[in-house]
A and B are shown apart, each in its own frame.
Chain A
């Protein structure tokens, strides 16, 4: 069911969409530019920047296209838990595979 908080005028939607598309094109170009640049020594710095831009891009899509900005509290609660466990899964796995008993030979 539609919420009254959203504009019901199709034109304003199209304007907003054009802005989002512009933003997506900008962030994508920025990512590609970073990828082909020579920032930093090796890939580490570039990967960090590119992923940072990707997160911004994703937040943009989630906030506006999935209209998370005007979503109900319950959905936020669910997503907070999910993100927490997502980070737990990734973070703890990485930590566990990089924490060795002293004296372990690696590669």
Chain B
């Protein structure tokens, strides 16, 4: 291998031609609407398709949540404004415009599924990854452009199946986004079969996407773009893709098995002697409900890092760019990201302490869980330290990125008590858990995604989003996010359980009645203040919804009316900003030759305070002595 190191073939400048390097006709022709927007193989168009679809799904998932919050705060009271519409569309489950417990369960399951698999992952991984990664590594496109298009189409199909499931008799899946068996199989509606079919499609899409990303990052880096010159965002996407590649298939296997349970009436997850509604179920039995949980959480936990790593990547880019100095501890960040990815595969059973697990295995998983938190803390610390001594530009993307740091910190640190069996036994399935993971994902990841949208919008459109409305969006979101989620910690610690369609009213009342007659040593009644918080959370959630209106309007208004900017408005160093805006098909007008690391800001002997990665002038960072493969 020594003989032919770094012999790269000559660059062929971009030549508009969809189809990913098929041979034959080379003449330039204007693609039609369908080949440009629907069957496009251009990674930038696909990225935007993913982005718009994911944002729409997130809005939809948020809407489901608003209706659930109404039901929690005012159980059984018809939903204002939307109630009649709900009844018209969904019929009996929304009789009188109120949300029945079954419908609440559907909404809960679908809120989780949509937010995770149709909202955050497609936006963080597929949309930003697709648009930005090839630009950052200096590639003309993804390694397999047609496969890329196919992944989007499969994803779209999966989304359609999930949406359709709302309208079938009995409604969408009701067994929670975790779909634990035997509950998922014994609910007598078809929602679960639709959910599983949708999931198999979404998983397939993610797998194809992950293959494409990894192959692209390995194979299509521009000359000189060595591994240690990759921007942290690319590293984050690389690790994320590996998590999707290796953690998703076991869930696909589990999904197929549960589909067999639901459709072919097998008993993979149904134990012997299963009783449904007081009657012995007509199944062969012999299955293992715990098997589902193992296979589900084998994906479920790496999935957490799938949600958070791309967000960390975006935040790293935005922070270095706006502090105007190199990121602190680039290598630590990279190794920490790799360590997080590796460890995340062997922590999953900390979701299952309550399943009657023995001490030995619980100890193992507690240990690995504590270990996996270390690299996350390293990443966060590096980003905090990067702020030190920087001349910080407080623009909208930076505000969101800065808010990410403490919000993710809260989310991460409140996770530690859940990783230890002793405290988890008490906190399991309470609102504390909800607050914990929402702090990671909602003010954490979603803030980072907003930062990304504001940050890369000028690259996609050539215009900047409105700064004033951006700030309004930020401050309102920041305040109301915290008012929504902070009280949930208190509710959870007080013992309020999740998944109760009445927000605990029934439960609380029942226990209060009991205290007079019989002893109920296990549970105290929920104090009235805890129930009162439900009302506050509802109004904060509504306000949070209203706070997104400036963002939506700003996003569409700025496409045509935003302030016009040149190709590198943020004065960034990475390759994505060294191409025309918007980048042409094939991305680069000349072949980028990378000569330095990703974050050369404020180099002392350079004319400007940023030195692009492909700028030949000035002192280049010395090449590592051994060739990186």
Stretch at the interface among B60-68, B287-295, B587-595: B287-295
Interface string of A55-95 (1 = CB under 8 A from B): 00000000000000000011000000110010011001101
Is the CB–CB distance between A88 and B361 below 8 Å? no
Is the CB–CB distance between A96 and B349 below 8 Å? yes
Q: Does B358 contact A (CB under 8 A)?
A: yes
Q: Given the known A-B contacts A81-B246, A82-B246, A93-B294, are A88 and B357 also in contact in the complex, defined by CB atoms under 8 Å?
A: no
**Neighbouring A residues of B294 by C-beta, 8 Å:** 93, 96-97
Q: Nearest CB to that of A82 among chain B residues?
A: B246
Q: Does A101 contact B (CB under 8 A)?
A: yes
Q: Does B218 contact A (CB under 8 A)?
A: yes
Within 8 A of A (CB), among B238-254: 242, 246-247, 250
**Neighbouring A residues of B532 by C-beta, 8 Å:** none
Q: Chain B interface mostly helix, strand, loop or mixed? A: helix
**Neighbouring B residues of A104 by C-beta, 8 Å:** 356
**Neighbouring B residues of A88 by C-beta, 8 Å:** 345-346
Is the CB–CB distance between B345 and A85 below 8 Å? yes
Interface magnitude class on chain A: 10 to 19
Interface string of B313-332 (1 = CB under 8 A from A): 00000000000000000000
**Neighbouring A residues of B608 by C-beta, 8 Å:** none
Q: Does B23 contact A (CB under 8 A)?
A: no
Q: Does B360 contact A (CB under 8 A)?
A: yes
Interface magnitude class on chain B: 20 to 34
Q: How far does the Cβ of B470 sit from chain A's closest Cβ, in whole Å?
A: 41
Please measure, in the bound complex, the distance between the C-alpha atom of A100 and the C-alpha atom of B359, giving whole angstroms.
Answer: 8
Interface string of B282-316 (1 = CB under 8 A from A): 00000010110011001000000000000000000
**Neighbouring B residues of A82 by C-beta, 8 Å:** 246
Binding site for B on A (CB under 8 A): 73-74, 81-82, 85, 88-89, 92-93, 95-97, 99-101, 104
Given contacts A74-B218, A85-B247, A88-B345, could you give 13 more A-B pairs where the C-beta distance is less than 8 Å? Answer: A73-B629, A81-B242, A89-B298, A92-B346, A93-B291, A96-B290, A96-B349, A96-B352, A96-B361, A97-B290, A97-B294, A99-B357, A104-B356
Closest 5 CB pairs of A and B: A99-B358, A99-B361, A93-B294, A96-B361, A100-B358
Report 27 cross-chain contacts, Cβ distance below 8 Å, ordered by A residue. Answer: A73-B629, A74-B218, A81-B242, A82-B246, A85-B247, A88-B345, A89-B298, A92-B361, A93-B294, A95-B360, A95-B361, A96-B290, A96-B349, A96-B352, A96-B357, A96-B361, A97-B288, A97-B290, A97-B294, A99-B359, A99-B360, A99-B361, A100-B356, A100-B358, A101-B356, A101-B358, A101-B359
